Amino acid sequence: MRHVQEVAGLLRRQPVVAILGPRQVGKTTLARQVFAGHRGAKLWFDLEDPRTVARLADPMLVMEPLRGLVVLDEIQHSPDLFLCLRVLADRPETPCRFLVLGSASPSLLRQSAESLAGRIGYYELPGFSVEEVGPAALARLWLRGGFPRSFLADDEAASLEWRRDFVRTLLERDLPQLGIGVPAPTMRRFWTMLAHYHGQTWNGSELGRAFGVGDTTVRRYLEHLASAYMVRVLPPWHENLGKRQVKAPKVYLGDAGILHYLLDIRDREQLDNHPKVGASWEGFALHETVQRLGAQPDECYFWATHAGAELDLLVVRGKQRLGFEFKRTDAPTFTPSMHHALHDLNLDRLWVVHAGRNEFPLGPRVEAISLDDLIRKKTLG
């Protein structure tokens, strides 16, 4: 319901709204809910349907008389429509609002940014969150990830099979459709290798040597996966502190279930005993925290110094600075690294998000809190 309300709110403020996100995350389902709740004239165009494509051979002739809400699904198949949308969005009194859905291709975003600057709002749809599925399903969400069909599968084997098919389809069909020409086996090897670096600072030279290519090549592979929402690249925060600070980003796979598939983790027992369990939980908790805050990508950073101080997540909103550390333990303690982050970054609050059940203070402006409690907490400022 939250996603429906936010998209509907964007449509009231902008003539064009784009729902972005990875394949199979539920963009069309969300659009259908918005469409069903709209009172007044409305029309849906599926641009994968050849009959619709034929109907829109002269798009201005078809769309100019329309009123109310118009949905354009899979718009990456008809990028020329963005030029028409610019004209239609500038009409007096905005007789029509457009909701567009499509893959997160760089060309799609570039078209919309250039053609519809100041006229389009973006809504990035993530997978399921703890807030949506409930705290009782937290462990299942962590293991299976947030893609609806993976999370809702009948059992672990069916969930794993869906993720296997998703990865294959993305590599063999979806990425080429986005204009990415890297061979599927090559991208599969890189993606698997990246899973083993999940939660680490990006080191293109090291990855390039391990993969047998140059660092610029692996950086390009990383950008391809990020453009398809398969990877979260968390930029570094640095300011004039008189300390040497890390300036490389931190890299996480975008979905815990896909991470576990690429690491060949099939059930909770294997996850609990895997060397990457701590990094997996950190990425999962970070994703949930960002969703809970509704934080935008340009508000989220990590921070580290070459002396060893580090902060997993820094959220900067205007003058407010919130810090988050993620610890897979039920008894976190206040560390020297947290002390440096708290004072060097002048944090308003530092939350230590842990895997236990209790909430308790660790010091002035520092609070330990379970992930479940953090999701339900009304204010974090």
Distance in angstroms (rounded) separating the CA atoms of residues 246 and 158: 41
Distance in angstroms (rounded) separating the CA atoms of residues 353 and 289: 9
Give me the pLDDT at residue 178, please.
Answer: 75
Distance in angstroms (rounded) separating the CA atoms of residues 49 and 249: 40
Whole-model pTM: value is 0.92
Please compute, for residue 208, the number of CA atoms within 13 A of its CA located in the half-sphere on the CB side. Answer: 12
Residues listed for the chain: 381
Give me the pLDDT at residue 114, please.
Answer: 76
Give me the pLDDT at residue 219, please.
Answer: 94
Q: Mark the ranges of the chain whose per-residue pLDDT is less than 50.
A: none
What's the CATH number for 130-376?
1.10.10.10
Residue ranges covered by each domain of the chain: 2-124, 130-376
| 2-124 and 130-376 agree in CATH topology | no
Q: Into which CATH architecture does domain 2-124 fall? A: 3-Layer(aba) Sandwich (3.40)
Distance in angstroms (rounded) separating the CA atoms of residues 152 and 256: 15
The SS3 assignment for 284 reads helix
Please compute, for residue 255, the number of CA atoms within 13 A of its CA located in the half-sphere on the CB side. Answer: 31
Give me the pLDDT at residue 35, please.
Answer: 94
Tokens standing for residue 118: 């100041």
Give me the pLDDT at residue 180, please.
Answer: 82
Within a 10 A sphere around the Cβ of 304, how many other Cβ atoms? Answer: 22
